[in-house]
Structure 1
Amino acid sequence: MRDEMEAAARRLADGTPLAEALDVSSATAWIALDEHVRTELRWRRAAAGRTWRAATFSGVGEPGPSAVALALCDPDGRVREAALAPAGAEPSLLPLIAIRCADWVAPVRDGARALLRAALPGAGAAAMPVLAAVILRAGVRLRGDAARELLESALRRCDAVTLDAVLASEDRAGRRLAHRMAVERGHFSPARLAEIAAREGDVVIQDVCSEAALAGSGTGTGDEVLLPLLRSRQSRVRSAGVTALHRTGLHARAEPFLYDRSSMVRACARWVMRQDGRDPVELYRARCGDGDVPAGAPIGLAESGSRADAALLWPLTGHPLAVVRAQAVAGLRVLEAQGLQRLAPLLDDPAPGVVRESVAALVPWAHLLRDEELTLRLAPDLPRHIRVGAFRLLAARGGPAYGEGVRMLVDDAEPKLRARARAFVGRTAPAGRRRAE
């Protein structure tokens, strides 16, 4: 980034237009340019051999936008202050004006805020996304809150097209603020908010939109709001939808979510069922004893049951479905069941998820396993997940067998095993040998 900013500053010093010298659509580029120019005091114009500061306000003619951009970043507060007047006539320089709103020099700071206050209402859909991103990043600085307040005020009053542009911005902070403002303005219907929450990847926006969707629909929340939430791939959004089932009186619809893949959703579903006077533990026990076991039933039983329920989970470690086997092993670990060393045969399971859960359960019991049965599982012809699990348990045991495993794997073809073995060698080698290597 330093080399990029050096090249950009040199191009600006030579009079190259802003859009050609810098990626003006990137908030990172604007902020990096400001930081770079302020710390580099010896910029030379390639042709004239003078510092760009001397050429910027030499009194000969009007400075162009490129020269003004550099002057706005100048380490000398007097130069920055003098640059504000010509900058106010150049909309393309608004990102640098926004940065100057947090300037440590009061006249620069006050002048920049006045310019930003006047310019923000007319910024438009093309300029507002990057401007918002710059303001929010600079807003974390000391004295940066004033520009953020101006931005919030502008987003409350801007036209729908401009707000939509910020809502679709690639900048995460800008999108978060825009969604808050959209909720405040009533920009979306509850159904639309539910759809946004259901497909959104950012957890903050998920919460903002799901909460607003449910609040906006009140106690009469219908399927147009509930279904997008309940069908979402995002666990936080499903949790919000499941919790809302209590308010709407649709408690029975929470039962399938007792077996959800997310612990958060399962917990919400159990709460809803209890509000309806039903005991989720009994439902879990019944399903774990069925021939058709939902994948989340074993771990759900472990989360809400007692150690006595381990008797229902042990048979499920041999279930035909790998996901049920894995969840049964995870449930036994949660219940801290006795005799978990009985899980050792599952270290050869063809499903990586089952082996992963078995290893996690066996780590506290690793001292009860035999060295040779773990060392044999390091053989290069075995599946990767079996070898990785065995090596992790050898590491938990320590001792000579672990050292032997390290020697076996230090030049192994599997990158993960090789890296772990070499890391151990690096930690245990004498300092002089490590330096030589």
Structure 2
Amino acid sequence: MGGDDRTGVAAAVRLGEGVALGEALDVHDPDSWLSLDLGVRYLRPHQRELLPTRAEVIDGQASRSASWSLKGFAVRRQARELDDARLAMALCHPDGRVREAAVGKAVGRPALLPLVVVRCTDWAAPVRERAREVLRAGLDCADTTGLAALVLKAGRRDRGEFAVGLLRELLCRAPHGRLVPLLTDRDRDVRRFAHRIAVAERRLSPAELARTAARDNDTVVQKLCADVALAGASEADYDEVLVPLLGSRNPWVRSAGVTGLRRAGQAGRAREFLVDRSSLVRACARYVVRQDGVDPLPRYRDWCTRAGEVPPGAPAGLGECGVRADAELLWPLVTHPVGAVRVGAVAGLRALDAVEAERLRVLLDDPAPAVAREAATALAPSAGRLDTDWLLDRLAPDRPRHTRLAAFRLLDVQGGVIQLRSAVALLNDSDDKLRRWAEQSVQRWQPSADVPRGDAEVAELLGRCEHLFSTYVMDRRKWAAGIRS
């Protein structure tokens, strides 16, 4: 739902002290309005003297002269017009009658429309109904670009659907120019909302949708726009639609473009994507070329046996559609001079279930971090067969960081004393990530069946990490290991 009562209290106090609305809170941040709404209700008794009374709201000015003490200072309130800051506090007032009166006074004050949106979800029906009347009258002239994110956040509350429906109704009948800024809004939910309207109302061409799918970083927007672009494209549109999709950096968008090649009668272009860096794109490319009567397996084998340049995606692709015997084509590539090819070779061996731990473990020392990570992934199921001392040696501070991370991952998955020993050894490490991983490993450690009860080494290791547990949890952990507290 958003909102933080602590920042809201601070904002409410500043408003009560006479600070202008735009200075007391970030009026462009929807969470600031929700925080203020919470904060006013969490004011302490002596701070509630800052709140306007119902009479002040009805009269439209702070007509009474009153004084109170705040933080040890005497403050005197003189008669003055009820400005936006005071009325904002009234709109969040704990008393529903004050809120209802304040909503009426908010008519024609666009700076307060965000709080009118919040009041549309009010639990008190009179407040809620009056706020909805004001919002319906004021939304046509409001800046929907700044208001949309708050409307959608408030829409997650009970009774929040009204403002969302009103905004949708407005944008559906408004000129396209009013919707355009929302299509590129920094708020992800706003972009999703706007694109759904644009699609439903046919506001964007297939080419525009394709460019959006290629540009936007939100998967929901990408999928919506790519699907509709491909479904609505005519023969004349295909190039304008497929070029941005196929050129996108996002694998899902590229895969949608590759799948669209078949419908466009351009299945032959899918062959170049057989060696794409993404497994999803490669899978879609294989589907398309097979539908075109081409078997991709011989092509993968040819790529992996070339004397010259090997496409980086070819080894992984061979593993994804090859047979176990194809592993013999991949083993020479684990020493290829190009790191991306080595990564693909390891991934291919893993896909073929042809990993040989002793042959592959040397890649933990590979200078390319991606190769070491992929090797650790491939070796994880057989980590127990690796030499423990050899792995522990790779935790040494003078080893490359990616080697240390890969080695610890393989020690950690073994469980038992080995997991605990390697994790405790890194509790004071200078590398933040390794130290954090080690702490998490210790905290989730449980004695395995092969750990002797009352083991002296386990007792000593647990003693070195007592600062990571409460007394109760540590006692339970020691009890499970058969160690007396």
Q: Which residue is equivalent to 1:67?
A: 86
Q: Which residue is equivalent to 1:196?
A: 212
Once residues 302 and 282 of structure 1 are traced to their aligned partners in structure 2, the CA distance between those partners, rounded to angstroms, is 12
Once residues 44 and 434 of structure 2 are traced to their aligned partners in structure 1, the CA distance between those partners, rounded to angstroms, is 50
Once residues 207 and 262 of structure 2 are traced to their aligned partners in structure 1, the CA distance between those partners, rounded to angstroms, is 19
Partner-residue secondary structure (3-state), 1:249: coil
Return closer, same or farther for 1:56/1:258 CA change in 2, 3 Å cut-off: farther
Q: Residue 115 of structure 1: which of 134, 157, 180 is its match?
A: 134
**Is 1:333 paired with 2:366?**
no
Partner-residue secondary structure (3-state), 2:103: helix
Contact 2:355 2:378 in 1 (8 A): no
1:268-291 alpha-carbon deviations (Å, 9 max, x no partner): 111111211212223222222223
Return closer, same or farther for 1:182/1:399 CA change in 2, 3 Å cut-off: closer
1:432: how far off? 10
Judge which range, 427-436 or 139-148, deviates more: 427-436
Q: Give the counterpart letter for 1:109 in structure 2.
A: R
1:163: how far off? 1.9
Q: Which residue is equivalent to 2:458?
A: none
Once residues 12 and 415 of structure 1 are traced to their aligned partners in structure 2, the CA distance between those partners, rounded to angstroms, is 42
Once residues 401 and 17 of structure 1 are traced to their aligned partners in structure 2, the CA distance between those partners, rounded to angstroms, is 61
* 1:10-49 to 2 correspondences below 5 Å: 10-40=13-43, 42=45, 44=47
Once residues 394 and 17 of structure 1 are traced to their aligned partners in structure 2, the CA distance between those partners, rounded to angstroms, is 58
Q: Give the counterpart letter for 2:206 in structure 1.
A: P
Q: Which residue is equivalent to 2:480?
A: none
Q: Which residue is equivalent to 1:166?
A: 182
Partner-residue secondary structure (3-state), 1:212: helix
Once residues 157 and 250 of structure 2 are traced to their aligned partners in structure 1, the CA distance between those partners, rounded to angstroms, is 33
Contact 2:275 2:282 in 1 (8 A): yes
1:342-362 alpha-carbon deviations (Å, 9 max, x no partner): 212222222111111111111
With normalisation by structure 1, the TM-score equals 0.89
Partner-residue secondary structure (3-state), 2:353: coil
**Is 1:181 paired with 2:184?**
no
| Residues paired across the two proteins, number | 431
Identical residues among aligned pairs (%): 48
With normalisation by structure 2, the TM-score equals 0.81
1:43: how far off? 6.0
Return closer, same or farther for 1:410/1:79 CA change in 2, 3 Å cut-off: closer
Contact 1:25 1:130 in 2 (8 A): yes
Once residues 294 and 417 of structure 2 are traced to their aligned partners in structure 1, the CA distance between those partners, rounded to angstroms, is 54
* 1:386-401 to 2 correspondences below 5 Å: 386-398=403-415
Q: Give the counterpart letter for 1:367 in structure 2.
A: G
Contact 2:10 2:39 in 1 (8 A): no
Contact 1:214 1:221 in 2 (8 A): no
* 1:207-222 to 2 correspondences below 5 Å: 207-222=223-238
1:385: how far off? 1.6
RMSD (Å) for aligned C-alpha atoms: 2.7
Contact 2:429 2:435 in 1 (8 A): yes
**Is 1:311 paired with 2:328?**
yes
Judge which range, 402-411 or 349-358, deviates more: 402-411
1:421: how far off? 4.0
Q: Which residue is equivalent to 1:429?
A: 462
Once residues 148 and 401 of structure 1 are traced to their aligned partners in structure 2, the CA distance between those partners, rounded to angstroms, is 55
Partner-residue secondary structure (3-state), 1:96: helix
Q: Residue 366 of structure 1: which of 357, 380, 383 is its match?
A: 383
Once residues 60 and 431 of structure 2 are traced to their aligned partners in structure 1, the CA distance between those partners, rounded to angstroms, is 67
Partner-residue secondary structure (3-state), 2:204: coil
> Normalized per residue, which structure has more helix?
1
Once residues 179 and 28 of structure 1 are traced to their aligned partners in structure 2, the CA distance between those partners, rounded to angstroms, is 23
- For structure 2, list consecutive stretches of 5 or more residues without a partner in the other structure: 62-80, 446-460, 475-485
Once residues 410 and 265 of structure 2 are traced to their aligned partners in structure 1, the CA distance between those partners, rounded to angstroms, is 49
Once residues 311 and 288 of structure 1 are traced to their aligned partners in structure 2, the CA distance between those partners, rounded to angstroms, is 10
Contact 2:183 2:194 in 1 (8 A): yes
1:399-437 alpha-carbon deviations (Å, 9 max, x no partner): 666565456544333333344445555666259943589
Once residues 84 and 204 of structure 2 are traced to their aligned partners in structure 1, the CA distance between those partners, rounded to angstroms, is 39
Return closer, same or farther for 1:309/1:201 CA change in 2, 3 Å cut-off: same
Once residues 119 and 155 of structure 1 are traced to their aligned partners in structure 2, the CA distance between those partners, rounded to angstroms, is 14
1:143-165 alpha-carbon deviations (Å, 9 max, x no partner): 11111111001111223443223
Q: Which residue is equivalent to 2:393?
A: 376
Q: Give the counterpart letter for 2:156 in structure 1.
A: V
Once residues 195 and 465 of structure 2 are traced to their aligned partners in structure 1, the CA distance between those partners, rounded to angstroms, is 57
- For structure 1, list consecutive stretches of 5 or more residues without a partner in the other structure: none
Q: Which residue is equivalent to 2:101?
A: 82
1:338: how far off? 5.5
Judge which range, 195-204 or 410-419, deviates more: 410-419
Judge which range, 304-313 or 147-156, deviates more: 304-313
1:187-245 alpha-carbon deviations (Å, 9 max, x no partner): 33322222222121111221222223223323443322211111111112111111110
Once residues 17 and 149 of structure 2 are traced to their aligned partners in structure 1, the CA distance between those partners, rounded to angstroms, is 28
